[in-house]
Structure 1
Amino acid sequence: MLGRVETRSVSPVFVGRAEELTTLNDALARAAAGEPQALLVGGEAGVGKTRLVEEFAAAAAREGSVVALGGCVEIGADGLPFAPFSTALRALRRELPAELAAAAAGQEDELARLLPELGETGTGRHDEEGMARLFELTARLLERVAADRTVLVALEDLHWADASTRHLLAYLFRTLRTGRLVVLATYRSDDIHRRHPLRPLLAELDRMRTVHRIELGRFNRAEVARQIAGIHAAEPDPDRVDEIFRRSDGNAFFVEELAVACSEDCCTGLTDSLRDLLLVRVETLPESAQRVTRIVAEGGSTVEYRLLAAVAGLAEDDLIEALRAAVNANILLATPGDDEGYRFRHSLVREAVADDLLAGERSRLNRRYAEALEADPGLVPADQRVMRLASYWYHARDAAKALPAVLDASAAARRRHAYSEQLGLLERAMELWDVAPEEVKAALRPVDHTEVYRAPDAADPATTPLRYLDLMAASAVAGRFCGERERALKITKRALRLLDEEDDPLLAAWFWVQRSRLVQAKGRDDGWKELGTAQELVRGLPPSEVHAEVLTNVATWCMLHEPGAEALAAAERAVQYARMVGAREIELNARVTRGVLVVDAGDIETGLAELYDVKEQSLADGHFHVAGRTYVNLPSELEAVGRSAEAVGILEEGTGFARKYGLLDTEAFVWGNLSDSLFSLGRWDEAAEAASNALRRGHSAKPRGAAALCLAHVALARGDAAEAARQLAAAHSSFGTHDPVPQQWLPLAFIGIGVAASEGRVLDARGALDRALDAGTPPGTQRFGWRLLLAAATAEADSRRLPVAREGREAALDRILGAAKRLTTGAPIWEAHDLWVRAELQWAAGITAPDVWSEVVTAFEGLERPYDLARVRHRLAEALLATGGDDERDRVTELLRLAHAVAEHLGARPLTDAVSLLAQRARIGLGPAPRQQRPHDPAHDLGLTSRERDVLRLVSAGRTNRQIAEELFISPKTASVHVSNILGKLGVSGRGEAAAVAHRLGLFPTETLTT
């Protein structure tokens, strides 16, 4: 409206900052080469941060970079959630509309929380991962936009940033890995006092090697002289330079203000007071212009022209003249764009003008802002409207108006996943509650303002007035979601104290469930006491959603801590109650828990079928949180029962699913489980890579601990005991000691035994086993229990000749055997481990039994475990050599060659060394067997192993499984497994058909076949 006005206080010549510009330009060059860059620019107010960024951005744009600028918006004392990111994304959308639309495709409803222009905000699930999910999608959006072009995102005034903006910036700095992207943020260093919320973020970023931090210093005298010369377009008087340099102390903004003041002959009368310096030119304005500057100062970082006009109440010509005076004096600037407005040229002047306001004057101005915005909501951008209205009414000190406005703002913050701001606003609402009129509170409804964060079946929220307890419930959840768990715990404690005086067991149970989650997240306890209290509160009450939620949480807790029959019964009840009240998501969640417990109880196919069904239904219904659980738990159960290849297929699908929906912890757990299954399949390099991905993607400690265990397992198998010990310590640190669960303590003990045994510390290995067994191997922990017992038994077997291991060996072997008898063997993998553990125990006791080891080898030949098969083949070869039978030499040679080939391929150095040493002692070469011209073998073409060929020969001769077992010295169950494998490989349905195929192919031509 006023057009461009020449500003004579700003030097057209950019002074100094050569070193800082070099750093920025180097970062831009690295980004252009595909290495994302993160930069922080700090400095005191007025030192020239904005000018540096403007010069850098202009140069980057000239070189072809896309520049997106955003600034933190302050409304009174309140920051606007995600404001700088919304502004920057809006700029990117203007510059690259098609590219941004393509990058956001499929996630518009989530990304609309930051950029409303993308569409309606999603109504999806809110949880602890909500913010992280939004952050992940934002990072992916920026990476995609910057895939083919260099993009500079500059965010100014981080000292005013809301908590959500700070969290998002930290996330980007931590996780950006690809794209030609520069993310730069500025902050005012002199404002960062000891308790400023930005200080922890700066400390965190300082620890990141990928973040470059630039601190702008003040100008020296020569630079001040150049700045003054640029302002006046003439060489300044040296005495005047000395005086301005002394008073400004090299602060670029103060130099500008003093240079102008001195040119207007008021320099000599100006005191050294900062306030006087900032206000001197404001006080020379006409009264109408001073009044307008005061209005602008209280309105926020930028005030729209139409809103300013409504608040000022001046005739349009008078308002324009007042604005022209302020702009000509270079105090206010007109902001370009569709929403024309005005802001102070420098925030220091705005703060000085605002601080000069009287308390009553400030509240009156805020009231006028609020009234104008209520009368015409279109005066400000839509995404700022609710937040600004809440701030204006609150600072107007009108509780009747402020309470509903603040609650509306809290609901808007929640929709944006700005849970930190939601919590602050809800706490402000609780502050207003006691002073707000009763009729105002009676008109409020939970469904409008807290989005039913309460016991939803206690009453119909659409017709029930909002209660103070509803605010507390919403605050507790917001605190949990944004990580402010201590504040949330205090709120739940106060709420439960209030509920002692009310008859509302459902709401009390709901609060106890929240408290259970909080104490677990804080690392204070395992949360069972709180869950138990909630369970007692709902016991005997009619079915309800809260009741179903309590039972689901109890069942899940039991699945992790005390799996078994009681846990399964709790899961069954949870499913039933959820179905009765139509709580579909709770039902599906409870069914995941039930499916896991059914598999662990031994009914493998039933449990897996349930997990597969829940996966499909949750995906179809859009319950992605539950679907994420199935992508973790289903393949985990498949791996537990030895179906690793099937697990890998689901896990690979799960990584894409979790990444698409920004489920960071889910993705980390999926990567960790994928690492386990890849290890089983002998794909160790991929397993290590998957575990590293889990560490990188993990949002919380537990998935990172599980990933560290995966890396420790690979390191241990490859003979790097030091790395295994380091990863073991990292896992211990991640898991902590407050909430032990079997799926943590058993693997920790397994790795601990392996590390101790590899270093010859047999007594330490026994101690690790004793501690693990004392903690327990509950039903359903076969996967971890068998591996633990095997590690202990192998350690005893390998150390049987060490003198230090003799004392206490018998007791140790007895304890391992006793524990083995308590573990179930309902799956082939568990049966194989049972045989292996018992064989190792015999070996440790000095019993060499080739037949026993032959049975172990047979058990593993039908499983997807190449490393385990190589290990037991080595043991069998060792047993055969120990018995001294020369007639078995060919068999020993084959066993050792096969074991050595697998060990070398995997990089399993301990096994490679053991096999090589045994072969050397037996004078067996481990090179490829000499080629001999052998007759064509149809059995080999069918994929039959040598053992399966022997079994098929006896099947063809009409032998039963028991007779086959007796003749081949194996168990009937193992014989049955071999027969099943043979039928599958031949593609027949029965033993008679198998015999007919053998006859037709002439597999056993010299024998009489009976069908």
Structure 2
Amino acid sequence: MASRVTSTTFVGRAPELTELRAGLTEALNGRPGLAFVAGESGLGKTRLLSELERVAREDGVRVIGGDCVELGEGELPYAPLVGALRPLARSGHEAFGQLSEPARAALAQILPGLGRAEGRVDDEATAQARLFDGLLELLELLAGDEGLLLTIEDLHWADRSTRAFLVYLASSLCREKVLVVTTYRPDELHRRHPLRPLLAELERDSRARRVELRPLTREELAAQLSDILGAAPRADLLERLFARSEGNPLFAEELLAAGIDGRGSLPPTLRDALMLRIERLSPDAQELLRVIAAGRRLDHELLVEASGVDPRVPVREAVAAQLVVADEEGFYSFRHALLREVVVDDLLPGERAALHLALARAMEKRAEGLPGAHLAAGIAHHYLQSGDQPAALVASVRAAQAAEAVHANGEAAALYSRALQLWDRVADAESLAGLDHVQLLRNAAWSTGREHEPGRAESYLRAALNELGDSDPERTADLLELVAREQFNQGRSAAAAETRRTALDLLPDAPSPMRATLLASTAKELMLESRHEEAVEAADCAIEVARAAGELVSELRALDAKGVALFGLGRFEEGEVSLREALERARNADLLYKLSVHVNLADSLTVAGRLGEARAVADEGHELAAKRGVPRRWLALLRAELAFEAGEWAVAEAALPTPARPAMGTTFINDALRRIELALGRGDHETARTLLDQAEDVAADTREPQWIGPLGALRAELERRAGDLDAAVAAIDNALDRLDFCSQDVPRMARVAASGVRVHADAAVRARDLGEDPSLAIAMAEGLLARVEACAEGERPVEAAFLLLAEAELARARGDEDPELWTAATEAWVALGRPYRAAQARRRRAEALLAAGEREAATAAAAEALASASAIGAAWLSSEIEGFALRARLRMDDPDEPSPPSAPTATDDGEDPFGLTPRERQVLALLADGRTNREIGNALYMAEKTASVHVSRILSKLDVRSRTEAAAVAHRVGLV
């Protein structure tokens, strides 16, 4: 028999360790990342991590780690994070003293030893994100200058909150010197395992590494056995163990530990080999192993309480047999998860139930009242496994409430669902649980809705409504309000409005908090749909009721909605008064709600053409959010949007969250829009198309113009650039049809309609280039211009700029371009502080000047446009201007030097500066007339194939992509 179980030599994982060390080195250089170590049980994932931790400590890196816990449906929230941080919190690590007050308050919820920081936390909708921000701040402090290695083992058992935090880390790690390394078993990931989509997303990130462990080779196994045996293994033993273990190092070790010397029979499986070692222990030690197997990780006191015996001697026996290990906190657990699984599988049903019952009672005794989330989840799990359904119901409700207290919504939803399943099996369930079935359904819906499952949440609420009947109008109205929220989250805004009307009809006319809530929600949703007049009316009603009922949050929500709607109606001064009142009153009441007012005020100021003020408001909100430790993704996206409009594209890109972080619903649309604009500006049309497809799919059922308008305009621009004018027209028509439906969103209507004029101008130009009738395209452009004119009525500077742009585009459509129209559009956008749109107008002005024969002025205008586009980083616009200048033979390197004359016509002799031969100019003339290759060949007495070759050469020499573009160039620069 081997004298020891495990090899002290690190064998066969040098490449994998090198890969992980490279990740650690990058993290220490300010490029944090995540690594995922995949391997079946027994292949050495833990050993690899141990070696990485050893070398990290030798390099002065701080190392912390925790394990995910296999407990029911993963309802133990933040298990590995708490396990990693709890020892540091208990020891009073200095990093905890350096935390900001918001971070300390958030972390105190999962690490009670921190106490509670002063300050009110009132925005439960963002509580988990505040906790995640606090965790990230702590990790950064722990990393310091030396770096931090955080290890998380058994990710396949991770709870939902831990998985969510990993997603957050993937998007939020920036320059922190942090490397997160996780391990998981691929064979545990069944088709619907929740880790599958998460890994598929995270492992694609450029900063993520995937390390897959393989079985040991024969030579590597020989090295492992040599260290265990103290001498090289005999050839026959090596062959037998290699054949049986198939290179699994744990199996090989356990075969030796079971007493195999190469002459006896081998256990058929790894589990059999493990069971042989367990059966050699004394009965007391085996019994203690059963308790530890049921409890998974237990301290000395719980072992005593659950087993009823002094565990010191049998535990020492199990530790000496290298089956059980004790960690720094004094908890006992199995050396390897498979050892525990073997013991659990060997338990008889009655034994298993008795062990779980003993553990549940021991934990409950320790809890002394409402326990923390971890202990509560453990109690609920053990009571359920014991078969004591009344106790399991009570414990599940308490555990769900404890999970809600630490904002672990997924775990709370799972526990409430379990309580619902137990309800009908327990006598006097309402008395035991401390709440009725309707309230339990409401709680389940609340937690489920926060996990972005609106359909399932609505089903819980419908069940509650059916059960409640007509007995309690106030509770019914409350449930209906939640139904309406979930309907709106599913894009069913009409149904949500009808549901709220039903709820209001149930309530007495007297002011009440519930009526104020319903009215404020109605006003907000009408505002989001740009039904501004209705929103103002609903908001005024909500404000009156909320003030009478003393419901401050509802009053502020209504003021916010009213302010945005007034801006939408062009009543800018009134709107600003309403929004600033909401902002000031929220600030005085110390409500986090004011951060959403920052978003809406900044957005509204942008609509009014006050971009600089809008950016200041957004910056103020972002700074305040950082100080308060609340999520600021929407503020970050708004700052990116405003920076883009201001021409500061590098700032806009830096403000964006990393694309690895998943988003849902309108947050995804908002995020995608910011990236689409940048991609189009830089000419990355493939990325823009992918994001547009995704965003349009998410927004398919939305009725919010703030998404419909930009998506339609950007789609039209993308298709216009690709030359598919039919698709561009369809995008404009679709967007306008959706905006026309009960919407008063003038700013988005103006943008889409102006974009439509541009598309139809392109269509008219193309028609003339091909010798076709442009009248239909011109008529369509005129109709859209009328829309923009209607939008620009009154004092609306942004819409007025779109009108000037549309008027210039219409002149282009008519074939009568006027440089002065483009000058007016340019000046309007410059006055609004939007250089990208101004540069686009300058580019068109240069073309109009050239068409008017003013080559020197066109050269200067093109140079000015190119300088503006280059300063912004607008690569696509820059390339368009450069291509125009090249085709028009404008001297861009020195605009003060006269440009050469326009290109010779097809009747001139010799070759022109584009390198066209006389024959190619003849072909170009026919191509510009709309002739096909066959028609060109017949006219010039050449084969169709020869004509095709000439056309290809012409396209190449003119640096254009299509016959249509070639014809347009020929007409504009006088080649035909």
Match of 1:634 among 601, 604, 608: 601
> How do residues 426-825 of structure 1 correspond to structure 2 at under 5 angstroms?
426-438=416-428, 441-442=430-431, 444-445=433-434, 466-499=435-468, 501-519=469-487, 521=489, 525-539=491-505, 541-542=507-508, 543-624=511-592, 626-659=593-626, 666-667=632-633, 669-690=634-655, 692-693=656-657, 699-713=663-677, 720=683, 722=685, 726=689, 729-730=692-693, 732-733=695-696, 735-758=698-721, 764-777=727-740, 780-796=744-760, 801=765, 802-803=767-768, 804=772, 806-823=774-791, 824-825=793-794
CA contact (8 A) 2:487 2:495 kept: no
Worse-matched range after superposition: 824-833 or 366-375: 824-833
1:55 aligns with 2:62: no
Say which SS state the counterpart of residue 80 (structure 1) adopts.
coil
Amino acid corresponding to residue 749 of structure 2 in structure 1:
G
Looking at structure 2, the residues matched to 878 and 228 of structure 1 have their Cα atoms a distance apart, in angstroms, of: 80
> How do residues 881-896 of structure 1 correspond to structure 2 at under 5 angstroms?
none
The structural deviation recorded for 1:214 is 2.1
Amino acid corresponding to residue 620 of structure 2 in structure 1:
E
CA contact (8 A) 1:675 1:686 kept: yes
Match of 2:9 among 13, 28, 32: 13
Looking at structure 1, the residues matched to 451 and 328 of structure 2 have their Cα atoms a distance apart, in angstroms, of: 35
The structural deviation recorded for 1:81 is 1.5
Deviation per CA, 1:919-939, whole angstroms, max 9, x where unpaired? 98999984499xxxxxxxxxx
Looking at structure 2, the residues matched to 924 and 232 of structure 1 have their Cα atoms a distance apart, in angstroms, of: 79
Looking at structure 2, the residues matched to 923 and 275 of structure 1 have their Cα atoms a distance apart, in angstroms, of: 78
Say which SS state the counterpart of residue 15 (structure 2) adopts.
helix
The structural deviation recorded for 1:736 is 3.2
The structural deviation recorded for 1:901 is 5.6
CA contact (8 A) 2:356 2:386 kept: yes
Amino acid corresponding to residue 85 of structure 1 in structure 2:
L
Deviation per CA, 1:409-439, whole angstroms, max 9, x where unpaired? 111111112111111111121122223332x
Looking at structure 2, the residues matched to 874 and 27 of structure 1 have their Cα atoms a distance apart, in angstroms, of: 47
Looking at structure 2, the residues matched to 891 and 32 of structure 1 have their Cα atoms a distance apart, in angstroms, of: 55
Looking at structure 2, the residues matched to 64 and 485 of structure 1 have their Cα atoms a distance apart, in angstroms, of: 47
1:329 aligns with 2:321: yes
The structural deviation recorded for 1:43 is 2.1
Say which SS state the counterpart of residue 514 (structure 1) adopts.
helix
Looking at structure 1, the residues matched to 447 and 745 of structure 2 have their Cα atoms a distance apart, in angstroms, of: 35
Looking at structure 2, the residues matched to 266 and 916 of structure 1 have their Cα atoms a distance apart, in angstroms, of: 83
TM-score, normalising length: structure 1: 0.78
Deviation per CA, 1:340-388, whole angstroms, max 9, x where unpaired? 3322222222222222222222222222223333334489996633222
Partner of 2:913: none
1:425 aligns with 2:389: no
Looking at structure 2, the residues matched to 880 and 266 of structure 1 have their Cα atoms a distance apart, in angstroms, of: 93
Partner of 1:411: 401
Q: Structure 1 stretches of 5 or more lacking a match?
A: 1-5, 446-465, 930-1011
The structural deviation recorded for 1:552 is 2.5
Q: CA RMSD in A?
A: 4.0
The structural deviation recorded for 1:164 is 1.7
The structural deviation recorded for 1:783 is 2.0
Structure 1 547/260 Cα, relative in aligned 2: closer, same or farther at 3 Å?
Answer: same
Looking at structure 2, the residues matched to 867 and 198 of structure 1 have their Cα atoms a distance apart, in angstroms, of: 43
Looking at structure 2, the residues matched to 193 and 653 of structure 1 have their Cα atoms a distance apart, in angstroms, of: 47
CA contact (8 A) 1:789 1:816 kept: yes
The structural deviation recorded for 1:596 is 0.1
> How do residues 295-310 of structure 1 correspond to structure 2 at under 5 angstroms?
295-298=291-294, 300-310=295-305
Structure 1 375/704 Cα, relative in aligned 2: closer, same or farther at 3 Å?
Answer: closer
> How do residues 18-97 of structure 1 correspond to structure 2 at under 5 angstroms?
18-75=14-71, 80-93=76-89, 97=93
Amino acid corresponding to residue 52 of structure 1 in structure 2:
L
Structure 1 540/405 Cα, relative in aligned 2: closer, same or farther at 3 Å?
Answer: closer
Looking at structure 2, the residues matched to 680 and 269 of structure 1 have their Cα atoms a distance apart, in angstroms, of: 76
CA contact (8 A) 1:709 1:727 kept: no
TM-score, normalising length: structure 2: 0.81
| Residue-pair matches, total | 885
The structural deviation recorded for 1:84 is 0.9
Looking at structure 1, the residues matched to 720 and 480 of structure 2 have their Cα atoms a distance apart, in angstroms, of: 45
Say which SS state the counterpart of residue 700 (structure 2) adopts.
coil
Structure 1 143/422 Cα, relative in aligned 2: closer, same or farther at 3 Å?
Answer: same
Say which SS state the counterpart of residue 145 (structure 2) adopts.
coil
Partner of 2:908: none
Partner of 1:388: 378
Q: Structure 2 stretches of 5 or more lacking a match?
A: 899-976
Partner of 2:247: 250
1:313 aligns with 2:308: yes
CA contact (8 A) 1:877 1:892 kept: yes
Match of 2:361 among 366, 371, 376: 371
CA contact (8 A) 2:512 2:545 kept: yes
CA contact (8 A) 1:600 1:780 kept: yes
Match of 1:115 among 104, 111, 114: 111
Looking at structure 2, the residues matched to 917 and 193 of structure 1 have their Cα atoms a distance apart, in angstroms, of: 59
1:285 aligns with 2:249: no
The structural deviation recorded for 1:598 is 1.2
Partner of 1:953: none
CA contact (8 A) 2:73 2:414 kept: no
Say which SS state the counterpart of residue 436 (structure 1) adopts.
coil
Looking at structure 2, the residues matched to 53 and 228 of structure 1 have their Cα atoms a distance apart, in angstroms, of: 21
Amino acid corresponding to residue 769 of structure 1 in structure 2:
I
Looking at structure 1, the residues matched to 476 and 462 of structure 2 have their Cα atoms a distance apart, in angstroms, of: 11
Looking at structure 2, the residues matched to 149 and 526 of structure 1 have their Cα atoms a distance apart, in angstroms, of: 52
CA contact (8 A) 1:289 1:323 kept: yes
Q: Percent of aligned pairs with the same residue? A: 33
Deviation per CA, 1:122-171, whole angstroms, max 9, x where unpaired? 97356564434433442343234324112111111223222222222233
Say which SS state the counterpart of residue 178 (structure 1) adopts.
coil
Structure 1 923/430 Cα, relative in aligned 2: closer, same or farther at 3 Å?
Answer: closer
Looking at structure 1, the residues matched to 324 and 335 of structure 2 have their Cα atoms a distance apart, in angstroms, of: 5
Looking at structure 1, the residues matched to 75 and 108 of structure 2 have their Cα atoms a distance apart, in angstroms, of: 19
Looking at structure 2, the residues matched to 704 and 341 of structure 1 have their Cα atoms a distance apart, in angstroms, of: 43
Structure 1 901/16 Cα, relative in aligned 2: closer, same or farther at 3 Å?
Answer: closer
CA contact (8 A) 1:728 1:751 kept: no
Looking at structure 2, the residues matched to 90 and 267 of structure 1 have their Cα atoms a distance apart, in angstroms, of: 49
Looking at structure 1, the residues matched to 199 and 40 of structure 2 have their Cα atoms a distance apart, in angstroms, of: 15
Looking at structure 2, the residues matched to 749 and 306 of structure 1 have their Cα atoms a distance apart, in angstroms, of: 65
Say which SS state the counterpart of residue 281 (structure 2) adopts.
coil
1:148 aligns with 2:161: no
CA contact (8 A) 1:7 1:328 kept: no
CA contact (8 A) 1:387 1:409 kept: yes
1:184 aligns with 2:151: no
Partner of 1:830: 799
Say which SS state the counterpart of residue 259 (structure 2) adopts.
helix
